[in-house]
Chain A
Amino acid sequence: MYQYNGFDTAFLKERNLQFRDQVRRRISGALSEEEFKPLRLMNGLYLQLHAYMLRVAIPYGTLNSAQMTALASIAEKWDKGYGHFTTRQNIQFNWPKLQDVPDILDALAEVEMHAIQTSGNTIRNVTADHFAGAAADEIEDPRPYAELLRQWSTDHPEFQFMPRKFKIAVSGSAKDRAVTRAHDIGLLLKKRGAEIGFEVIIGGGLGRTPMIGKTLCEFLPKSDLLPYVEAIVSVWNLLGRRDNKYKSRIKITVHEKGLQEIQRLVLKRFSELRPQFKGQDQTLLNALKKAFATPAWIDTPTTTFHENYATYQNFKSWVDINTSPHRNNDYAIATVSLKTPGQTPGDASSAQMRVVAQLAKTYSHDELRISHAQNIVLPHVHKSHLFALYNGLYPAGLATANAGLISDIIACPGMDYCALATARSIPVAQEIALRFKALKLEHDIGPLQIKISGCINACGHHHVGHIGILGLDRAGVENYQITLGGDATETATIGERAGPGFDASTIVSAIERVVFTYLDLRLSNLETFLETFRRVGAPPFKAALYPDASEGKNAA
């Protein structure tokens, strides 16, 4: 993975000095809260319901054991002993004190981490496939490009006071695990003959007007990446609406101006910007590719793995559900679930972070990933180590075999933490997970992604959940709306609203009815929920949700 050089270290040191001074001026009153706000946001510091919240960047979701251990220490020293992993591969600390934040940033800098541009009207963390560099189906590792974009976007002089936030995701596989089609810019590595380049997608986004992104450029040569992306952001910086923050994102700009007009403007800007990139970015890119070279694979027999797999049912179950095919046949990608039923989805205690850091150091070539599904991934585990890994995870409560299953719920922090929320999301996630665990149906149901958002901003990605739940406030009472058939992958789809919402006491049984309808209608246990939904459509599910709706009445 990428290691800082002298320039990066010096940059971060200076940046932290600047922020320390900004905090000093805020506390002294030289900066008003209005002036301080964008400055603290561009250093990752939010103000939430109960306290400040610090969002630390985990660039493209990659970190090593030293970094994970540092996050554990920070949680212990300056927070309440836990952190929350997010749908953009970052980590959030919910309880830092303002005067401690400069020290936290210095502690992060010690392990080459930061909280730069994780908030504010800036270019945010560039996310990537959490299986990058490991997946069997990968065309090329997207992370060198993500790191190149990270450097290009860091402290960019033009792009720190934009109309709104700007989010970029990169995928290196035809299987889109990075939700690229719901980003302002999605970059898909693809082959054209012998050449590899990018399909550039723009204007995807969730929130109150969810949209699947559109292809702006079918095939962009790699060497054009930075000037082309800069052209898009530059055009939008001037065009994006500043009068109405709900209409600022580029998805609205594309909707209002039309894709062709945006293409015209981008190409024009690109022609002005292209000559500014004289080759050093490509030289750096080549150095980055070396930094992301595959680890030195070990070569030992996997016989004990097969024996243990045949002998221990729980281990077999965990391997079947939580591991994914690796480019090296003797290896596996292991998902460490942070979704134990009853726990807060995506949260890990300091103790758990330390355990998984040590296990990664020993068994995963010292590398970890954070997925947008709020789980931890150990990307490079030799099969002979899987049993020891499993036995190391189990006592720490990290061996739940539910990756991609119904209890592997994505949930935003919701009203328990977030000032923007209209409903609580965590209790709903906990209840659903516990209910289906008690019913012992999880494995039978198979892959089913539930995603819960506690407000219309959709940080829980509910629009692209197979089942989405949106928590709203209706006359002071929590009201949960269900969407069906959403998809976050390369067949991206916005879920369809099922009908009127349910209150907190009936939402879980409503979800049950949806799931039982699927179990009734599926052709076999090989047909997933999403496949069944796409085959039969919404009507049977709506009928199950609203049995009292009269015939002909439009439940949507």
Chain B
Amino acid sequence: MDVIVTDSGFSADTWSDETTLSFASETDPENLTLPKAIQRVVITFPNFADGRGFTLARLLRLRGYTGILRAKGPIISDQYAMARRSGFDEIAISQAQALRQPEKDWLFRSNWTAHSYQSRLQASS
């Protein structure tokens, strides 16, 4: 049972498979298409060093996806801000990971809207 990480810390996973669409990190962006009804999408990360999911998330948002976007995999707390800024709403980690990376490590990075050069550069003038 995964632990779900959001800006307010840990919570239990309430999703079931039928309601979500899942994309692997190697998904071709041309195949990033969503039926309009889908409101829950997961992008899986095979390991924390593979940053493709961040670009996929961004593309999904650019293409108009407004539902919940979850990153799932062995993501470390130091990647939390990256994930949120790329468009993820939450991260699903394993119980074992949650033990090694306690809630306080994730909360330490929950101020993800601050100190973002990219947001500054994309603002309207």
Collect the chain B residues with CB atoms within 8 Å of residue A161's CB.
Answer: 48-51, 54, 79
B121 to A157, Cβ gap below 8 A?
Answer: no
Contact B52 A277 (CB under 8 A): no
Q: Which of A7-15, A57-65, A310-318 contacts B (4 or more CB under 8 A)?
A: A7-15
Distance in angstroms from A277 CB to nearest chain B CB is 6
Q: Within 8 Å of chain A (Cβ to Cβ): is B100?
A: yes
Interface of A is mostly: helix
A258-298 interface (Cβ within 8 A of B) = 272-273, 276-284
Chain B hits for A33, CB < 8 A: none
CA–CA, A11 and B111, complex, Å: 12
| B82-A282 in contact (CB<8A) | no
CB of B115 within 8 A of CB of A278, answer: no
Write out the residue numbers on chain B whose beta carbons fall within 8 Å of the beta carbon of A162: 51
B19 within 8 A of A: no
Whether B62 lies near A276 (C-beta < 8 A) is yes
Output the nearest chain A residue to B29 by Cβ-Cβ distance: A238
* Nearest B-chain residue to A265, judged by Cβ: B29
Chain A residue numbers with a CB within 8 Å of B108 are 18, 21
Q: Is B101 close to A, CB under 8 A?
A: yes
What class of interface size applies to chain A in its complex with B?
35 or more
The reply to whether the CB of A39 lies closer than 8 angstroms to some CB of chain B is yes
Complex: chain B residue closest to A7, CB-CB: B120
Q: Which of B47-77 contact A (CB under 8 A)?
A: 48-52, 54-56, 58-59, 62-63, 76
- B interface: dominant SS: helix
The reply to whether A154 and B122 contact each other, CB–CB distance below 8 Å, is no
Bound Cα distance A272, B118 (Å): 16
In the complex, the answer to whether A18 meets B78 with C-beta atoms within 8 Å is: yes
Q: Is the CB of B82 within 8 A of A157?
A: yes
Quick check: is B40 within 8 A (CB to CB) of the other chain? Answer: no
Which residues from A are CB-within-8-Å of B63?
272
Residues of A with C-beta under 8 A to B83? 157
Give the residues in chain A near B78, CB-CB below 8 Å: 18, 22, 39
Given that A161-B49, A238-B52 are contacting pairs, would A151 and B124 also be in contact in the complex, using a CB cutoff of 8 Å? no
| In the complex with contacts A237-B55, A280-B125, A14-B118 CB distance below 8 A | no
Contacts of B28 in A (CB 8 A): 238
Q: Which of B101, B114, B118 has the most CB of A within 10 A?
A: B118
Residue numbers in B under 8 Å from A192 (CB-CB) = none
Inter-chain CA distance A226–B122, complex, in Å, is: 10
A278:B125 contact, CB within 8 angstroms: yes
Query: Is A156 located at the chain interface by the 8 A CB criterion?
Result: yes
How many chain-B residues does the 8 Å CB contact rule pick out? 39
B15 beta carbon closer than 8 Å to chain A:
no
CB pair B121 A156 closer than 8 Å? no
Is the Cβ of B82 less than 8 Å from the Cβ of A160? yes
Instruction: Report the nearest A residue to B49, measured CB to CB.
Output: A161
Query: Do A281 and B115 touch across chains, with their CB atoms under 8 A apart?
Result: no
Q: Counting chain A CB atoms within 10 Å of each CB, which of B84, B124, B125 scores highest?
A: B125
Is A155 among interface residues, defined by CB-CB distance under 8 A? yes
Query: Given the complex of chains A and B, what is the CA–CA distance between A39 and B77 in angstroms?
Result: 11
* Nearest A-chain residue to B63, judged by Cβ: A272
Report how far A279 CA is from B122 CA in the complex, Å: 7
**Interface contact A152-B125, CB-CB below 8 Å:** no
Cβ of B43 to closest chain A Cβ, rounded Å? 12
- Known contacts A161-B54, A234-B55, A238-B55; A278/B124 CB under 8 A: yes
Tell me, yes or no, whether B105 is within 8 Å of chain A by CB: yes
Shortest beta-carbon distance, B107 to chain A, in Å? 12
Residue contact A158 to B117, C-beta cutoff 8 Å:
no
Within 8 A of B (CB), among A132-152: 151-152
Interface residues of A in 1-48 (CB under 8 A from B): 7, 10-11, 14-15, 18, 21-22, 25, 30-31, 35, 38-39
Identify which of A21, A157, A277, A282 gathers the most chain B CB atoms within 10 Å of its CB.
A157
Asked whether B12 is an interface residue with its Cβ less than 8 Å from the other chain, the reply is no
Docked-complex contact A151 and B122, CB < 8 angstroms: no
B54 pairs with A158, CB closer than 8 A: yes
Q: Nearest B residue to A35 by beta-carbon distance?
A: B76
**For residue B124, which residues in chain A have a CB less than 8 angstroms away from its CB?**
278-280
Q: A14-B115, A162-B51, A273-B62 are in contact. Are A284 and B121 (CB under 8 A)?
A: yes
- Pick the residue among A7, A25, A276 that contacts B105 (CB under 8 A): A25
CA distance in complex: A547, B109 (Å): 65
Contacts of A18 in B (CB 8 A): 78, 108-109
Q: What are 11 A-B contacts with C-beta separation under 8 Å? A: A18-B108, A39-B78, A155-B116, A157-B85, A237-B51, A237-B55, A242-B52, A276-B122, A280-B122, A280-B124, A284-B120
Known: A160-B82, A237-B51, A280-B122. 13 other contacts (CB 8 A): A11-B117, A15-B115, A18-B78, A39-B78, A158-B51, A158-B55, A158-B86, A161-B49, A162-B51, A237-B55, A276-B122, A278-B123, A281-B121
